[in-house]
Amino acid sequence: MTRSLAILAAMCCLTATSLLAQGEAIARAPKRATPRTTLGKIDFSGIWSADRRFIYDINDALKPGEQLPIQPWALKVTLERQSKDDPEALCLPTGVPRQAPYPWRILQTPMHIFFLFEGNIHSYRQIFMDGRPHPKDPDPTWYGHSVGRFEGDTLVIDTVGFNDKFWFDFAGHPHTEKLHTIERYRRPEFGKLLYEVTIDDPGAYTKPFTLYGDHSYESDTELMEYICNENNQDVEHLVGKDPRNKYSKPSERVQP
């Protein structure tokens, strides 16, 4: 018995030593450099993970201590919305800045950047990089009209012309056609994408506010074909309101 315990202790010690050595080796391994295009711009291309803070409740993407400056009517709508009525659950586009819980790809060219989404209807966003302005009276759409530019190593995307149909998250936060977003993307290292978006919608919020998130690079994978409309069985099982939001917590519960 004593001999067996001694052997077991030795094995544990060897395993711990091996794991420690592996950890030190990983720590010493050089990080992959941020890639650049032939024009010297940061290359944001690749497949990226979704950020859950932009799926369940945008309150989670605020800085600690900040409050969502939501107007009373918009809060009332948020509290009354039911998951079965969520356009995303009905296989419609997520809009901006909401994300579906599936990977997505950035495809970058000098004149355009495209965001290709695996989730829902295999949709995409088109960002014009040729210096054009927004149209004076854009037709309202799910993803709006986006123009982009580089500010140093930061990709800045300015978008207007949204419809008011999509929800910001599972919680049901609304917006209006006055919505204007400015997104900033940074790639400080190969496997990390930092994101922030300033939302300005005087129709539903009392002042602009900024949300923060990040994405991880998805290696050794490809986007799959996922057609939400085909055999969509989720809606019939959605009862009430998704609980993964601040309004479902007793300490945060508010009245419309």
Q: What is the pLDDT along the chain (256 residues), one digit of tens a residue?
A: 444 444 344 444 444 444 444 444 334 445 789 999 999 999 999 999 999 999 999 999 999 999 999 999 999 999 999 999 999 999 999 999 999 999 999 999 999 999 999 987 789 999 999 999 999 999 999 999 999 999 999 999 999 999 999 999 999 999 999 999 999 999 999 999 999 999 999 999 999 999 999 999 999 899 999 888 887 777 777 877 888 888 887 655 555 4
**Residue 39 is assigned to a structural domain of this protein:** no
Question: What is the number of domains present in the chain?
Answer: 1
What tokens does 120 get? 């829902």
Q: Which residues of 60-73 are buried (b: 16+ CB within 10 A; e: fewer)?
A: bbbeeeeebebbee
Identify whether 19 is part of a domain.
Answer: no
What is this structure's pTM?
0.85
Helix, strand, or coil (residue 52): helix
Strands, sheet with 124-128, edge to edge from the N-terminal-most edge strand: 46-48, 104-108, 112-117, 124-128, 145-151, 154-160, 180-189, 192-200, 209-216
Residue 187 lies in a domain: yes
Within a 13 Å sphere around the CA of 204, how many CA atoms are in the beta-carbon half? 22
Whole-number pLDDT of residue 237: 74
Per the domain annotation, does 232 fall within a domain? yes
What pLDDT is attached to residue 18? 46
What per-residue confidence (pLDDT) applies to 163?
98
Q: Which domain holds residue 181?
A: 46-246
What per-residue confidence (pLDDT) applies to 232?
77
**Is residue 131, in this structure, part of any structural domain at all?**
yes
DSSP one-letter code for 138: P
Does residue 113 form part of some domain?
yes
pLDDT in the model for residue 252: 58
Other beta carbons less than 10 A from residue 230's beta carbon: 8
CA distances from 254 to 165, 168, 203, 216, 249 (A): 24, 19, 21, 34, 10
In a domain, 71, yes or no: yes
Residue 5 located in a structural domain: no
Whether residue 219 contacts residue 190, with contact meaning beta carbons closer than 8 Å, is answered with no
